[in-house]
Structure 1
Amino acid sequence: MRQIQVWLDEGEVEKARLEALDQLQHEEKSAVLNYLCAFSHDAQGMEREAIPFYEKAIEQGIQGDRRTQAYIQLGSSLRCTGKYQEAREVLEKGAREFPGNPAIQVFHAMALYNLEQSPEAVKQLLAVLGSHADSPWIKKYRKAICFYAGHLDQTW
């Protein structure tokens, strides 16, 4: 598994993908191998192929940052393939497990947008920007952004 990660880090994604697929034949219940296989597919624009591997990695108990990334990347892959409701559900599950993770929130907002829930999506994005962005400009307007996130339909 270490070599697969090295290849991914070096940009040798196809080598990593082929090795992960090969190793999965012997260790199909490895959460880490399923994650690495998913990631290597995803990195090559093979989102549809990546989806079942992300699902297995989560089901098999992938841990740490990879678990968070699996939720984000699975949700993103589902959204990219037009499975908007499934993406929303995955990202909401990820958000329950990792509350406050801004990346999950941003991808969730994208799924909401695709589900034609733009006001909620914009509200969520503004909340993320207002709470998590490190830009000096965002810091300067953080209080206003957070306030407007809860009052998008209100006029004065």
Structure 2
Amino acid sequence: MTDDWDTRIARVWADDALDDLERVRAIDEIAAERPAHDPRALFERAGARDSAGIEEEAEPLYRAALDGGLDGELRTQAVIQLASTVRNLGKVDEALALLRTEYEHGHAEPLHDGVAAFYALALVSSGDAVRGASIALEALAPHLPRYTRSVAGYARELVDPEA
């Protein structure tokens, strides 16, 4: 059932013909096939609402999904998405705390650059644009075909001129 369930969820996300509310309804319908407190179903329901701009409804669903035991990349995705949601709801300090923890402990994670991007945005929202630029440049540096060391060095220098 999981492969079929995942495939149907992926199809809903890929269907550009659906408007935001149709996508929410379609995700809810598929999610209802799982138990009410299933973390994966809660995560998908949260994401649909988040994508539709209904952050107030997405926030408790993300929290329930994380409390329910999401793990691996899905947990990281949920942290990123929850942090983005709470930032959009004006809870910048909470977004920073969530993302700082994820950023500092997940350097080997496949979604580390995504964490860095949202951490940089939260830093800018908090008024610390220089630190945000530093985080973003550090994430970008390894992907550059040239100047990797220079950009990484400049990123460090932004926050520590003695570096």
Cα RMSD for the two superposed structures: 2.5
Residue segments in structure 1 that go unaligned for 5+ positions in a row: none
- Name which of 131, 135, 145 aligns with 1:120: 131
Q: What do the CA deviations read for 1:4-33 (whole angstroms, capped 9, x no partner)?
A: 443223244534422554655972210011
Closer, same or farther: CA 96–123 of 1 in aligned 2, 3 Å: closer
Measured in 2, the distance between the counterparts of 1:106 and 1:74 equals 14
- Residue 7 of structure 1 corresponds to 12
Amino acid at match of 1:76: S
- Residue 25 of structure 2 corresponds to 18
Closer, same or farther: CA 86–66 of 1 in aligned 2, 3 Å: same
Preserved contact between residue 76 and residue 107 of structure 1 (Cα < 8 Å): yes
TM-score by length of structure 1 reads 0.81
Closer, same or farther: CA 154–99 of 1 in aligned 2, 3 Å: closer
Residue segments in structure 2 that go unaligned for 5+ positions in a row: none
Identical aligned residues as a percent: 25
Q: What do the CA deviations read for 1:46-79 (whole angstroms, capped 9, x no partner)?
A: 1222111111111111133222211111111111
TM-score by length of structure 2 reads 0.78
Measured in 2, the distance between the counterparts of 1:96 and 1:121 equals 14
Measured in 1, the distance between the counterparts of 2:35 and 2:26 equals 12
